[in-house]
Amino acid sequence: MKLMNHLRNLNNGITIHHHILRNRFHPLFFNYPKFFSDSSLPQQPTTPHVQQPPPPSSLNRNELAKFAAIAETWWDSEGPFKPLHVMNPTRLAFVRSALCRHFKKDPYSAKPLEGLKIVDVGCGGGILSEPLARMGATVTGVDAVEKNINIARLHAESDPTTSTIEFCCTTAEKLVEEGRKFDAVMALEVIEHVAEPAEFCKSLAALTIPDGATIISTINRSMRAYATAIVAAEYILRWLPTGTHEWSKFLTPEELVLILQRAGINVEEMAGFAYNPVTGRWSLSDDISVNFIAMGTKANNTE
């Protein structure tokens, strides 16, 4: 498989076993001393006699402005967020499968996520939060754009099943300050829009209970991703507003794994999203060269 061959050939001796079979995802097992050099990520100052500044906020004001400008279109399935609407069933298939396996729940029950407290960080208009609530989870949706939260609340109120969702205009960092904890933390298509990915992941880890789950989806920083997610999607097909993504802000799967590990989250499952232009649908794949999703767990002794 391409994914196995790609990751097996990394210079630092990582061993990852990954297999997808009938929508079941077997864990990725990481056994390595070092993913790549310490210089690959920003380092914190180590001067012993200088008080360290508080962690930088992960908010990117330019990115917030982009999404505020199109907030009213979140539930327009033919609008700027059409790609997310089309991809959403596939994202949910991974989330349901991974969480049910980790928390030992029946994925085929009417409410497979019942009993789980989940936070949807960067929830936008609530297109992920709502189906999570319908699957039985107690959902909190947070977004730094107030327009997004207003749209999410308004739409969720139309259905008794989703009217119980707690939508808040806030950030992951502020939830950490409030001492909030969740069984599962979602950040789908968010990390490529934040200013400090490493600090953002630390906040996600802090929100996750010990042995809880953290799920992140994003876009690989590959030439294929540049060609498809930016050139094709934004400039040729016009699926997304021009400037929605910046290729330099994408993370490779290896970088995401390392950032999460440093935050106390061990990645156990990973899958790619494959788009079929004939059917117009997405499916789960072992090809992580463009869009991919990862699920990690927080160690019991990590706080």
Name the band, by pLDDT with cuts 50, 70 and 90, for residue 20: very low
242 pLDDT more than 70:
no
pLDDT for res 240: 60
8 A C-beta contact, residue 144 and residue 59? yes
Annotated binding site for Mg(2+): 189, 192-193
pLDDT for res 67: 57
Q: Where are the domains of the chain?
A: 61-298
What mean pLDDT is predicted for residues 272-287? 92
Overall CATH class of domain 61-298: alpha beta
What mean pLDDT is predicted for residues 97-124? 97
8 A C-beta contact, residue 2 and residue 158? no
* Backbone angle region of 24, left / alpha / beta, with phi > 0 → left and psi within -120 to 50 → alpha: beta
Whole-number Å distance between alpha carbons of 53 and 34: 27
Annotated binding site for S-adenosyl-L-methionine: 91, 122, 143, 188
Dump pLDDT digits (tens) for 123-145: 999 999 999 999 999 999 999 99
Backbone angles phi, psi at 183, to 5 degrees: -65, -40
Dump pLDDT digits (tens) for 91-105: 999 999 999 999 999
Annotated binding site: 91, 122, 143, 188-189, 192-193
Mean pLDDT, the chain, rounded, equals: 81
Comparing 22-31, 85-94, 123-132, 225-234, which segment has the lowest mean pLDDT? 22-31
171 pLDDT more than 90:
yes
286 pLDDT more than 90:
yes
What percentage of the chain exceeds 70 in pLDDT?
70
pLDDT for res 115: 98
pTM of the model: 0.77
Comparing 43-47, 154-158, 170-174, 213-217, which segment has the lowest mean pLDDT? 43-47
What mean pLDDT is predicted for residues 242-260? 84
Name the band, by pLDDT with cuts 50, 70 and 90, for residue 239: low
Name the band, by pLDDT with cuts 50, 70 and 90, for residue 83: confident
Comparing 224-233, 235-244, 283-292, which segment has the lowest mean pLDDT? 235-244
Better pLDDT: 147 or 229: 147
Q: Extract the tokens encoding 294.
A: 């990862």
Dump pLDDT digits (tens) for 27-78: 333 333 333 333 344 444 444 444 444 445 566 666 566 556 777 888 998 8
